[in-house]
Chain A
């Protein structure tokens, strides 16, 4: 796996708009962004209504994922290029999700919506219709998804990477600062976790830093490459960004994303918590 297999630059995207076999997919929580203007031909996924079960806190099932992708006109052989707002947080989440259900050819647009807009590249508000497909998903690959018991067992054993901001790690904030401060019952972080904010892996325009810069970042943070790694944040989208960096760009093996993240861990009864930097 190398950077070119998993990441496409904005120039490539612009040159390949409308190309057969390539489907651009915008993933946002704020779907009004897509409605106001999106990359030409791109379809929309709502990370919450499309990718979360409406009742339980969990993913949609394999069957629901098949129905979703079939309805969006995405085929098993298509190359899916994901992009979105929030510096690609939700696009990275969807990337991880597509991998979980076994989609082979999936890539992220480097810089996402932000770089596209800052470059003043064209956006379209035309409705996009693609013919339905018969998408076949695979069984979920839980080798890339961590659950709570495994996270508790990982304390002091595996690399735990908390990718939230330093103030969330320290327990001063319980949510990113563009949101009301509510969520988990208790602030703080998982003992023995290192704090490497997701933002350190990205440039200001939302593109990823170079492989050399990224390798240095996690080495300096004390990540032991001989150990398995679990990344977490608040709800699992920023940690998808870091999961993408560690597994897809840097090629680390055995990296999992803990999508329960702090909203689950910080509300569990009886688990250890640390506060402070």
Chain B
């Protein structure tokens, strides 16, 4: 339902012919960050979804084709990444300053 499924991991069961998947990891000081908050913002900077990264620092969103912004907040810092997503798998990394 509206709670996020387990973040990251295998793509089994996800139809990459129809779903626009944006996934990746949050990094800080050369290591993945577990428990970081990652927001997906649309082209107008409006909140679309938020997840918490897995123990391996992974996140995943199901979006639509277009331009998106990822913004991550954690006790150690914050970071942003803009990307253009297409149908299928779109992978990226967000680095915290």
Contacts and interface: CB of A to CB of B under 8 A. Distances in A.
Interface in A81-135: 85-87, 89-90, 114, 117-120
Tell me the interface secondary structure of chain A in the complex.
Answer: loop
A15 to B, nearest CB: 21
Contacts of A47: 3
Given A48-B1, A180-B62, A166 B73 contact: no
A178 B73 contact: no
A242 interface: no
Interface residues of B, number: 29
Contacts of A89: 2
B3 A204 contact: no
B2 A177 contact: no
Nearest to B65: A172
A29 B40 contact: no
Interface string B63-80: 110000000011100000
B19 interface: yes
Contacts of B27: none
Given A167-B64, A175-B62, A178-B40, A29 B49 contact: no
A181 B61 CA distance: 10
A72 B47 CA distance: 35
Contacts of B44: 166
> Chain A CB within 10 Å — which of B1, B14, B61 has the most?
B1
A173 B64 contact: yes
Contacts of B40: 177-178
Contacts of A237: 2
Contact of A165 (B4, B42, B60, B74): B42
Interface residues of A, number: 36
A224 interface: no
A199 B39 CA distance: 11
Contacts of A29: 1-3
A178 B62 contact: yes
A118 B75 contact: yes
Contact of B62 (A87, A119, A172, A181): A181
A30 interface: yes
A228 B54 CA distance: 42
Contacts of B42: 165-167
Contacts of B74: 118
15 contacts: A86-B3, A87-B50, A165-B48, A173-B48, A173-B64, A176-B2, A177-B40, A177-B61, A177-B62, A178-B49, A178-B60, A178-B62, A181-B19, A181-B62, A234-B2
Question: What 10 A-B pairs have minimum CB-CB distances, sorted nearest first?
Answer: A29-B3, A199-B47, A177-B49, A178-B49, A177-B48, A178-B4, A165-B48, A176-B49, A177-B61, A30-B3
